[in-house]
Amino acid sequence: MTPMMQQYHEVKRGLPRDTLLLFRLGDFYEMFFEDAEIASRLLGLTLTKRGETPMAGLPYHAADNYVGKLLAAGKKVAICDQAEPAKAGKLVKRQLTRILSPGTTLAANQLDAARNHYLCALAHDKAGLHAAWLDLSTGEFKIATDPRPENLLPVLTALDPAELTVAEGALEAWKTAPHEQTALHALHHFAAARLVTDLPAYQFETAGGARSVMNTLGVLNLEGFGLAPTHPALGPAGALVYYATENLCAKPENLRGLQEYRSARTLLLDPATLRNLEIFASSRGTREASLLAAINRSATSAGARLLERWLAAPTLDLVEIHRRQSIVGELIQQSTRLVDLRGLLANVRDIPRILGRLQNRLRNPRELGGIKDTLNQLPHIRAVLASFSSGSQLSTLSSQLQEFTSLRELLPRALAEELPADLADGGYIRAGYDTELDRLRSLTTDNKTWLSELERAEQERTSIRSLKVRFTNNFGYYIEITKANLHLVPADYIRRQTTVNGERYVTESLKQKEKEIFHAEENALARELELFNQLIAAVLDESVALAQTADTLAELDVLAGWAVLAREWDYSRPVLDDGDTLEIVEGRHPVVEQMLKSPSAITANGTSQAFVPNDTVLAADDAQLALITGPNMAGKSTYIRQVALITLMAQIGCWTPAKSCRVGLVDRIFSRVGASDDLARGNSTFMVEMNETANILNNATDRSLIILDEIGRGTSTYDGLSIAWAVVEHLHRGETKGPRTLFATHYQELTQLEKHLTRLRNFSVAVKEWNDDIVFVRRVIPGAADRSYGIQVARLAGLPLSVIDRAKTILAKLETDDTSVELPSAPKARPKKKISVKPDAEDSQLSLL
């Protein structure tokens, strides 16, 4: 085994299992053995062999792109770099510089600029679920604990961490928990969908975690963050700090503090609701056609990520909601200033992630260029904000933006106009900024001028007009004298070589100059790096203030984007209060409305379909439960979802797609919409439906909003009707109040419940009939639908006319209870029974007769 391979194995032995090692050899990173085989398959690299050792290499300058592909494939990658210049005959010293994993990468081209990138740690015990999450790219660091895991899983699902860390054995324990411990099974399901890294259980101990966190944050205690040293989530927090430190090969330097998340302060959306309402991703799994995409008009990456966080944990703080609404309103009223502000924000760079990379030793000149560009915008942004009336919310925001006068003067003076992506390229410090750097550069750029000047000076000094100053690769710089002039050679000339025509000489000054010239480029790069590090230090001295200013800019960006959205789509400011009423006048679905106006929805004659608005009134103690009937394709699902989305938008402070809107604060939004299965866990479509329904019935409160679509449709008609009936009764909740609910159904029998459930109201989606066809009006009106129009919808879907005609015949027989005629192509229908309802005096439920 060669010394280099011994070095390789020494580094490899110290790595976590299943980590690919990129080993720097000159201009390439090489991989060996199984690592080479895996990488060649994932990256399409050529697999070669040295002797019997498999090898695969990738260019050093393109490593980030290749590493990004490995991380996307769920792999971990260790980087071993050369720690000194290569010298002939000597083994180059190498060291592990960082370990990259999906949750700890920092490189810009390995992250989605518009998405937060979380590493999360989880622990569960008798006290409940304890969690910590960290975005290393921005320094966001939070912890949470809750005795009920179902209160934390919604926000964790919304955060969608790229990687989880858990104690060894935890994942298997959650998987094999007793059947009744549904929370642990949900926890396992959440973890199994992500890359999970096991850590020793002692890394999750609370006391050790508290010490690690305090050491990393550089504080003596956690009281300044409102945390006791016994907080159970400090164990997972400590595990995150340990894992991040191991991967960075250094303590993370960009963690500003630690915040506690409390589910009681936020509106919760469980995983099913996030999926059903397409909050962060559409049913196709993309951001396009999601609510987030529909309301995101942010001009900056930091703004887009802040909006994502607001949607993941909508606030219940009325003061904060009203503040955001007011800022949007101020911006809407000043359209010219809004345009100016948006133009300035478009030139703001991603300061949080730039600081994260600089603080964690990932540095290139363009990062400083991003800081410079942003600082140049600050005086103009402050001027626009200051132009609003004194005492306004925007005027207050202006005071939160600092000037950074010294940095704004320093960076433009020090940095070149065009900045390279790599420090090794040089040329990023502006000419004239540093005298020594200018001198070193002149040695490499002004050689010809210097040589001609030296030659002329020596000719005059020696009176030898034929004297020449020359250069060869083998001999370097020299003075050439012909034989006829050797008697004029000065005493300080040192003879170096005899030629046919004369002699070659050097002088002490020429030798010194030669050394300077030979090392000038190397010295110039070293001087540039020294100056660059001074600039980095100046920036990091202001890192806390820069981060705070970046937070304000991100908030301003989100709210300015919402002002643009409101003007573009005619949104109104909702009224939020502590009441239990939800009243929407002419509400529209924020996503569908935009899709109807998209280029792909415009017809050949240039027209597009208009969205039909609808009203909604729900109150926990009055019109609590709206039962909605009508045909498929008429818009029931769109209607109930738009109510939930408008409520959510209102509660994050956004204006809403409605003529007017009043929302009594909602603590949770639940949804049961559509059909899906989970065959991997043995759950049929109906079982998934029942699981989601059970979650709603067990966790909804009087302040919740529930939307239900076609409960009971996954089983037989009578079983499904019975379940739907019982669910409606349960949601009605006796004599006082219950959760505000929209219940869409095809079970016409349920419409009778309006006579006996005092807070239930019947609604239907209107249709018009014409020559056996139906026209969807998309209007929700009071009263029950007279029938489901299923056969007409089937005809619109393109079923063969023979099937449509036969279905009409069968329907006519079933509706008249005529089952005397055998139906050759279908089983004999079950006799249809008339169902009526009456109150049951004993339990206030409704009995079937």
pLDDT in tens, 384-421: 998 887 778 888 888 899 989 999 999 999 999 999 98
Structure-model confidence comparison of residues 788 and 167, the more confident one: 167
* 632 assigned to a ligand binding site: yes
| Whether 161 and 236 share a structural domain | yes
Same domain, 696 and 794: yes
Among 55-69, 252-266, 591-605, 622-636, which stretch is predicted with the lowest mean pLDDT?
A: 591-605
Domain termination residue (choose one: 100, 126, 154) = 100
Task: Indicate whether 639 and 764 sit together in one domain.
Answer: yes
Of 265, 290, 306, which closes a domain? 265
Please tell me which residue, 584 or 798, carries the higher pLDDT value: 584
Residue type present at position 426? G
420 touches 435 (CB < 8 A): no
Q: Which pLDDT score, from 0 to 100, does residue 684 have?
A: 65
Question: Of 110-124, 459-473, 601-615, which range is least confident?
Answer: 601-615
On whether residue 274 sits in a domain, the answer given is no
Pair (121, 261) in one structural domain: yes
Query: How high is the mean pLDDT of the chain?
Result: 88
In the block, residue with structure tokens 């739907």? 724
Same-domain status, 560 and 594: no
Strand runs labelled E in 115-194: 119-125, 128-135, 140-146, 163-167
Using a pLDDT cut of 90, give the percent of the chain over it.
62
Same domain, 557 and 584: no
Range of the domain at 45: 3-100
Residue 848 lies in a domain: no
The answer to whether residue 811 sits within a structural domain is: no
Amino acid 574: pLDDT: 97
Domain membership flag for residue 271: no
pLDDT at 333 over 50: yes
Tell whether residue 633 is among the known ligand binding residues: yes
Q: What angle do CA 144, 149, 154 make, to 5 degrees?
A: 80
State the pLDDT at residue 679.
44
CATH code, domain carrying 26: 3.40.1170.10
For residue 92, the model assigns a pLDDT of 85
Q: Is 247 found in the same domain as 186?
A: yes
Same domain, 614 and 631: yes
Residue 115 shares a structural domain with residue 260: yes
**Same domain for 699 and 790:** yes
| Residue 634 labelled as part of a binding site | yes
Residue where a domain terminates, one of 798, 817, 843: 798
Task: Write out pLDDT tens, residues 618-630.
Answer: 999 999 999 999 8
In this predicted structure, what is the pLDDT of residue 436?
92
Inside any domain, residue 501: yes
In a domain, 299, yes or no: no
Q: Which range is least confidently modeled, 49-58, 598-607, 738-747?
A: 598-607
Q: Does 734 count as an annotated binding residue?
A: no
356 labeled part of a ligand binding site: no
Q: List the CATH number of the domain containing 771.
A: 3.40.50.300
C-alpha distances in Å from residue 691, one per residue of 160, 653, 695, 746: 22, 32, 6, 21
In a domain, 849, yes or no: no
Q: What is the pLDDT of residue 516?
A: 78
Residues 6 or more apart in contact with residue 67 via CB below 8 angstroms: 22, 77, 79, 100, 105, 107, 110
**630 annotated to a ligand binding site:** yes
**pLDDT for the residue 681:** 52
Per-residue model confidence (pLDDT) at position 771: 66
Q: Are residues 622 and 504 in the same domain?
A: no
**Domain count across the chain:** 5
Same domain, 564 and 620: no
Domain with residue 341: its CATH number is: 1.10.1420.10
Does a structural domain hold residue 424? no
pLDDT at position 844: 46
Q: Is 326:389 a contact under the CB 8 Å cutoff?
A: no
Tally Cβ neighbours within 10 Å of residue 38.
Answer: 17
